[in-house]
Amino acid sequence: MKVLVTGGAGFIGTHLCRRLLHEGWQVSVLDNFNPQIHPHGQKLPADLSTGLTLFVADVRDRAALHRALEGCDALVHLAAETGTGQSMYEVSRYEGVNVGGTAHLMDYLMNAKENHIQRIVVASSRAVYGEGKYRCETHGVVYPKERLVEDMDAGNFEPRCPHCASFCRPLPTDEGAPYQPTSFYGLTKQIQEQMVLLFAKARGITAYALRFQNVYGPGQSLSNPYTGVLAVFAGQARQGKPIYVFEDGEESRDFVYVEDVVHAVVNALKTSQEGLYTVNVGSGQPTTLREVAERINHFFGNRSAIKITGSYRLGDIRHNIADLRLAKELLDYEPRCSFPAGLQNFLHWAEAHHEEAQGYEASLEQMRQRGLMRG
């Protein structure tokens, strides 16, 4: 079997390519080596420099798609811009890559004279849910809208019931939850997965939209200020600088280890279950950002002060927890790496790579200037 991985030179992509090559797949990679993610130029990790075929090009380059897709039976579409905060003020960029790039890809596949793709796996995101699934003491299961600025200005960060406006508590969100993205990033991922599923339905092929939670692990960009909170906190703690935590520190995320994500993608490529599916991929466990900061600070010798700022960013959600029952049923997926173990792996790797997030403060200032960060 031969597969094309778009964005295959990135964090998840390199881990996936290693696994696919190990299992005997023929692998092609299409990646434009965005400098924000790849500050050291257009090169793959040394262990991937041979064994796969690399095409350095944008996913919107039709001629490159023609070359990269030659002979491929399957497609894994990872290429995307991924910064929630950045998406709020670089709207055109995120639309162009995530929506436009996927549209170019689907257009090529629909019109190519020779197209052997029988299965597509697209990297979607839990961001399509917005706040996701909650329980109200009065109304039961509810799906809160975006949080109110007035509440957050007053230090009340929990979502409210859409019926009675009482504060409610989070539940694991299943795939039946409605689309309610709170960021432009989430909106682009919604459109991206819908385009892939619509294309696959029209062509009568199988497609899996895998809604990744917060993916982390060795190999993620440490210099990209939009790469995720773990890299930012690790950079601050390693230097003994204060670790700044937004809101009240009790916001939570479902952190999923990169090798668990790879396991889900490979199973989606290999399963005999055909059709069109959206599937959560996460750990199923919430971790507060206060706990994340404390664990990272402890690893680096408790040299940093942890400052709970009360500040917040528009577009951020409060909590997320993946309901993994469908992933187990369709993909035999169960997370294998706990957050404490995975975090240790990540921090040991990060400690050996002396890179810091470049422009993190500048990225926050960009949001402040536009009224997208408050407090």
Local structure of 13: helix, strand or coil: helix
pLDDT value, residue 196 = 99
Whether residue 289 contacts residue 251, with contact meaning beta carbons closer than 8 Å, is answered with: yes
Residue 261's pLDDT is 99
pLDDT at 43: 84
Q: What is the predicted pLDDT for the residue at 285?
A: 98
Per the listing, tokens 């939570």 go with 252
Q: What is the pLDDT of residue 123?
A: 99
The token pair that represents 136 in the structure block: 């109200």
Cβ atoms within 10 Å of 42's Cβ, excluding its own: 12
What CA–CA distance (Å, rounded) separates 46 from 6? 19
Euclidean distance between CA atoms 58 and 9, whole angstroms: 12
* pLDDT tens profile 274-315: 999 999 999 999 999 999 999 999 999 999 999 999 999 999
> Mutual orientation of helices 184-203 and 101-111 as an angle, nearest 10°?
10
Is residue 83 helix, strand or coil? coil
pLDDT at 267: 99
Query: Of these residues, 94, 129, 134, 185, which one is catalytic?
Result: 185
Question: What confidence score (pLDDT) does residue 42 get?
Answer: 78
Domain spans, the chain: 2-133+172-374
Read off the amino acid at residue 268: A
Query: Looking at the domain covering 2-133+172-374, what would its CATH class be?
Result: alpha beta
The answer to whether 276 and 124 are in contact (CB under 8 A) is: no
What per-residue confidence (pLDDT) applies to 227?
78
Which tokens hold the place of 99? 């929506």
Helix (H, G, I), strand (E, B) or coil at 281: strand
Handedness of CA 22, 28, 30, 33 (dihedral sign): positive
* Separation of alpha carbons 160 and 171, rounded Å: 14
Residues of the chain with pLDDT under 50: none
Is 185 catalytic? The answer is yes
Global confidence as pTM: 0.96
